[in-house]
């Protein structure tokens, strides 16, 4: 069975959709953590852990982008 090869543009579009989800998820978690921190609905430690979790997701996002950029650059 032959596998279909994707063009560079198709690969880029798929990568863009996946990485966009990481960006929105990280931002959403950080926004929720900031909201709970400002409103005081939960403990400060729990709010800060949401902020930290969102930052970790955004760091993963950054690493994925840099790794893909290095592959394309060569």
Distance from C-alpha of 21 to C-alpha of 59, rounded to nearest angstrom: 14
Contact 30, 55 (CB under 8 A): yes
pLDDT of residue 31: 93
Distance from C-alpha of 41 to C-alpha of 72, rounded to nearest angstrom: 45
pLDDT of residue 21: 84
pLDDT of residue 32: 92
pLDDT of residue 71: 58
Distance from C-alpha of 53 to C-alpha of 29, rounded to nearest angstrom: 7
pLDDT of residue 57: 87
For the chain (74 residues), the mean pLDDT of every run of 10, in chain order, is 77 81 88 91 89 90 76 55
């Amino acid at each position: 069975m032959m596998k279909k090869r994707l063009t560079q543009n198709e690969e880029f579009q798929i990568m863009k959709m996946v990485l966009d989800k990481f960006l929105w998820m990280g931002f959403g978690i950080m926004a929720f953590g900031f909201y709970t921190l400002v409103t005081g609905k939960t403990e400060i430690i729990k709010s800060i852990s949401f902020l930290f979790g969102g930052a970790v997701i955004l760091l993963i996002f950054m690493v994925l982008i840099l790794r893909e950029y290095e592959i394309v650059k060569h």
